Amino acid sequence: MTIDELLRVQRAQPFRPYDLIVADGTVVRIEHPEFVARSPTGGTITVYEPDGTGRILDMRLVSQIRLPRQRQPRRKRKDDGS
C-alpha cells in the first residue's frame, strides 16, 4: 500500500471511517480525517485516538485499507392499493 492510496481515501468527500490493516494483523480504525498525520516523506503516519493518544505506523507495514460496505438505499414498498 502506498501513501498515495491512503491519501485518496483520507481526502474522499464525504469522508467515511476506514480500517488500516497492518502486516501483523493489527486493525487500526480511522474515525476522522484529522486523526491521521503523515511525515514529510510519507514513510510514517501517526494515527490519533479521540482521547489524544497516538501510534506511529511505518507505511511499509500497512498492507491494506478496508473500507466499510456502502449501505444500499432502502427500497420503497409498493402500495398494494388495499
SS3 62: strand
User: Which pLDDT does position 1 carry in this prediction?
Assistant: 83
For 29-80, write each residue's pLDDT tens digit: 999 999 999 999 999 999 999 899 999 999 999 999 999 876 666 666 665 5
Q: Is 66 within 8 Å of 18 (Cβ atoms)?
A: yes
C-alpha cell at 25: 494483523
Strand-pair category, 54-58 with 44-48: antiparallel
Q: Looking at this protein, which amino acid is placed at residue 59? A: M
- C-alpha 41/C-alpha 51 separation (Å) is 26
- C-alpha 19/C-alpha 53 separation (Å) is 17
- Structural domains of the chain, with CATH: 3-66 (2.30.30.100)
Better pLDDT: 74 or 10: 10
User: Which pLDDT does position 68 carry in this prediction?
Assistant: 81
pTM for the predicted model, two decimal places: 0.77
